[in-house]
């Protein structure tokens, strides 16, 4: 059970964790394959139904997001639910939808940063914040996006 939780935590951090390099699909796949192997072993030891129940229990018992992450030279403690949820959702969005375009261009300007959290009025050109419920959600979203940009190579 501990092995399942450790593999799942490693895969989750590879995808959603702090910027320490690009999360490799192979790394995540290996972790999920190890979880599957542990599940097969559980079924052998405890029987098919109990093994599946134990596997599901182990995977559901872990937290959705880590409580703290390394952030540069400090540890960022994620104590606000709105910030944390927005951070990891927008970080995932960056890697899914934005990374390739920004990497291909090789540059980033202020308008690119503004577009991460704001909408520009087509007629006036003025910027307004996207619809965020709180300042914590706005800051979490912005830092989530830019954390992908600040990867250590």
| Residues linked to residue 74 through DSSP beta bridges, in sequence order | 71
Write out the H or E segment, with its range, that includes residue 108. none
Among the ranges given (18-22, 66-70, 74-78, 83-87), the one the predictor scored with the smallest mean pLDDT? 18-22
Higher pLDDT, 120 or 60: 120
Q: What is the pLDDT of residue 24?
A: 47
Separation between Cα atoms, residue 62 and residue 9, nearest integer Å: 8
Among the ranges given (20-29, 31-40, 111-120, 125-134), the one the predictor scored with the smallest mean pLDDT? 20-29
Among the ranges given (1-10, 31-40, 89-98, 108-117), the one the predictor scored with the smallest mean pLDDT? 1-10
What does pLDDT average to over the chain?
A: 76
Higher pLDDT, 123 or 35: 123
Q: What is the pLDDT of residue 37?
A: 82
pLDDT in tens, 78-115: 888 889 888 888 887 777 777 777 778 888 888 888 88
Over residues 115-123, mean pLDDT:
85
Residue 58 has pLDDT above 50, yes or no: yes
Over residues 28-33, mean pLDDT:
67
| Structural domain boundaries in the chain | 1-62, 66-153
Write out the H or E segment, with its range, that includes residue 126. none
Structure tokens at 82: 């709105």
Instruction: Count each helix (H run) and each strand (E run) in the chain, helices first.
Output: 7, 4
């Amino acid at each position: 059970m501990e092995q399942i939780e450790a593999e799942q935590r490693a895969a989750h951090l590879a995808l959603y964790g702090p910027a320490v390099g690009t999360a490799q699909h192979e790394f995540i796949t290996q972790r999920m394959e190890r979880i599957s192997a542990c599940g097969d072993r559980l079924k052998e030891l405890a029987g098919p139904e109990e093994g599946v129940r134990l596997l599901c229990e182990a995977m559901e018992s872990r937290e959705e997001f880590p409580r703290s992450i390394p952030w540069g030279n400090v540890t960022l403690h994620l104590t606000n639910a709105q910030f944390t949820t927005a951070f990891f959702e927008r970080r995932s969005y960056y890697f899914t939808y934005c990374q390739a375009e920004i990497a291909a261009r090789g540059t980033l300007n202020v308008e690119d940063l503004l577009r991460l959290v704001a909408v520009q009025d087509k007629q006036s050109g003025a910027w307004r914040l996207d619809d965020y419920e709180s300042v914590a959600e706005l800051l979490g979203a912005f830092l989530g996006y830019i954390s992908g940009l600040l990867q250590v190579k």
